[in-house]
Structure 1
Amino acid sequence: MAKKKNIIITGANSGIGFAAVKQFLADGFRVVGVDIQTNKMSEFIVNSDFHMAEADLSDVQQAESLMPKLEQSQLIPDILINAAGIREITPVLELSAESFKKVIDINLTAAFILSRDAARLWSKLEKQGCVINIASVSGLMAEPARAAYVSSKHAVIGLTKQLAMEFGSKGIRVNSISPGVIQTELTEEYFQDDEMVQLIKDNHALHTWGQPNDIVSCMKYLASDDAHFITGSNFVIDGGWTAGKKL
């Protein structure tokens, strides 16, 4: 029987990260779910293949301590999914440096630290690996009152390409996924407003929005051997959000 693969998923307590934990467990992976909150993913504790790690990824020390702890626990990852993310809705003129930095710390710096540390471990063990970063269509365009989020997601796509270039010779693949509007806890407020719902529909070529599993399906492909020749790529899954807008 093939050895179970280990997969680390950050942002595992909600949204896309939570959906990914559920799917990869169902697919027979050994999953480590990482989040500052653990209330929702605690339902998976009954599964012996699930391990929970509580961590504030905006804290550099906590982020940098994660990979050594996993190595010590014999949970060396085969795949790393950086899905943790936050966003602000604040006009630039009202946005504090502290708020800007917190978004950058979680969305970008944590992804850098965990990807770097995973690659260090894989290199030491002469092991191939796979990193999947969750970016956003906000990493391809500007959006109202989201300077920190937009900046962080543009940077995540750039980081993905940089890491892919540097790690490719080691057999480490790095790709990103840019979701459009996905119905999660982060966006739920949009769907409480009928005008916003209509606006979301009107701005998607498919006239609808996405669900977390639409993104998880792409994760599964990128984590599989079928994607062995794919690295440095950004997969846009947005229902046509960035294809064009009505004038």
Structure 2
Amino acid sequence: MSARDLFDLTGKTALVTGSSGGLGLAMARGLAEAGTAVILNGRDEAKLAAAAQALAAAGHQVTTSSFDVSDEAAIMAAFDGFDRAGTNIDILVNNAGIQLRKPMVDLAADEWRRVIETNLTSAFMVGREAARRMIARGQGGKIINIGSLTSEVARATVAPYTAAKGGIKQLTRSMAAEWAVHGIQANAIGPGYIVTDMNKALVEDAKFDAWVRGRTPSGRWGMPDDLIGVAVFLASPASAYVNGQIIYVDGGMLAVL
């Protein structure tokens, strides 16, 4: 197989959760540019439609599936719909997530559960439904979970997010341990500090902005497009012998003191 073919995703279909904007939309666009048909997911149907329209206008094959990734019944209904339509998910990107910044002593159990369910349990549930079908088809597949720097380290006031993203690293390893025999590669991406709507308040905080730039060897914030290369790699035949890993895209932040 040529180097070009190793990264060719023509004929594949990718479901990217939380892809009406930000990191999810950037990765979906990158996968589409590599040849996949993409299914965008989100809860805001108007925003989802606008994202799909933009990709379609660029010549990409795109559809949408609006469901709440923390709702098991909604997930199962969505996959039943894919089955009825004859849509096979070859690549799953578990990207949907939320953030909640609050000291642990002030954190309610319901707030904790909401972050864990959206950021971690959803990846298990959506991943399970995708894997069931990948296994039944017998043609393998790719699962890419989105972790974080907090899959490895912690910061104050984001305890549930940190616990969830630490769990993503171990969930990814568990997926590899169980599903590699079926030709499924499950890996994760750990973004560093990226300019997104979720981080808007941090980007606009002059002190925090200076800390990120000073703490990161690359000297800048990441951009959503910085995740495209690794997403395409992990979705493609090029990563056929890569399994259970998390790749940090952080400008070198974790590499230095």
**Fold match (TM-score > 0.5):** yes
Match of 1:159 in 2: 171
Please tell me whether residue 12 in structure 1 is matched to residue 12 in structure 2.
Answer: no
The amino acid across from 1:36 in the alignment is R
Q: 2:113 aligns with which of 72, 83, 101?
A: 101
Distance 2:149 2:203 in 1: 19
1:224 is matched with 236
Residue 244 (structure 1) shift: 2.6
Q: Which position in structure 1 is the counterpart of 2:199?
A: 187
- Please tell me whether the aligned partners of residues 164 and 173 of structure 1 are also in contact (alpha carbons under 8 angstroms): yes
The two structures, once aligned, show a CA RMSD in angstroms of 1.5
What is the aligned partner in structure 2 of residue 30 from structure 1? Answer: 37
**1:38 and 1:205 mapped to 2: Cα distance?**
39
Matched residues in 1 for 2:237 and 2:71: separation?
A: 33
For structure 1, which segment, 181-190 or 61-70, has the greater mean C-alpha deviation from structure 2 after superposition?
Answer: 61-70
**Structure 2: tracts of 5 or more residues without a match:** 1-8
Say if 1:205 and 1:241, in contact at 8 Å, map to a contact too: yes
Q: Contact 1:45/1:51 (CA < 8 Å) preserved in 2?
A: no
Give the drift of 1:176. 0.4
Amino acid at match of 1:9: V
Q: Find the counterpart in structure 1 of residue 182 from structure 2.
A: 170
Give the whole-Å Cα distance in 2 for the aligned partners of 1:112 and 1:106.
10
What amino acid maps onto 1:6 in structure 2?
Answer: T
Is the 1:82–1:111 contact (alpha carbons within 8 Å) kept by the matching residues of 2? yes
Structure 1 gaps of 5+ residues are: none
Aligned equivalents of 2:71 and 2:131: distance in 1?
20
Higher helix proportion: 2
1:90 aligns with 2:102: yes
Q: CA deviation at 1:3?
A: 5.8
Deviations 1:36-83 (A, max 9, x none): 123333232472721111111122211232222112112211100001
Tell me if the contact between 1:18 and 1:41 (Cα under 8 Å) persists in the aligned partners.
no
Tell which deviates more after alignment, 232-241 or 61-70: 61-70
Q: Secondary structure at the match of 1:32?
A: strand
Residue range with higher mean Cα deviation, 157-166 or 24-33: 24-33
The counterpart of 2:215, out of the listed 194, 203, 222, is 203
Could you give the per-residue CA deviations for residues 99-142 of structure 1, whole angstroms, max 9, x where no partner exists? Answer: 11111111111100111111111111212100000000111011
- Separation in 2, partners of 1:59, 1:17: 19
Paired residues in the alignment total 244
1:115 pairs with 2:135: no
Give the SS at the match of 1:40.
helix
1:25 is paired with a residue of what secondary structure?
helix
Distance 1:24 1:51 in 2: 14
Contact in 2 for aligned 1:13/1:39 (Cα 8 Å) = no
SS at match of 1:236: strand
Q: How does 1:141-152 map to 2 (within 5 A)?
A: 141-152=153-164
1:63·1:113 contact (CA, 8 Å) conserved in 2?
A: yes
| TM-score scaled by length of structure 1 | 0.94
SS at match of 1:7: strand
8 Å Cα contact 1:179-1:238 kept in structure 2? yes
- Percentage identity across aligned positions? 27
Please give the per-residue CA displacement for 1:158-195, whole angstroms capped at 9, x wherever unaligned. 00001101101100000001011010111111121211
Determine the structure 2 residue equivalent to 1:238.
250
The more displaced of 65-74 and 176-185 is: 65-74
Q: Which residue of 2 aligns with 1:40?
A: 47
Change over 3 Å in CA distance of 1:147–1:62 after alignment to 2: same
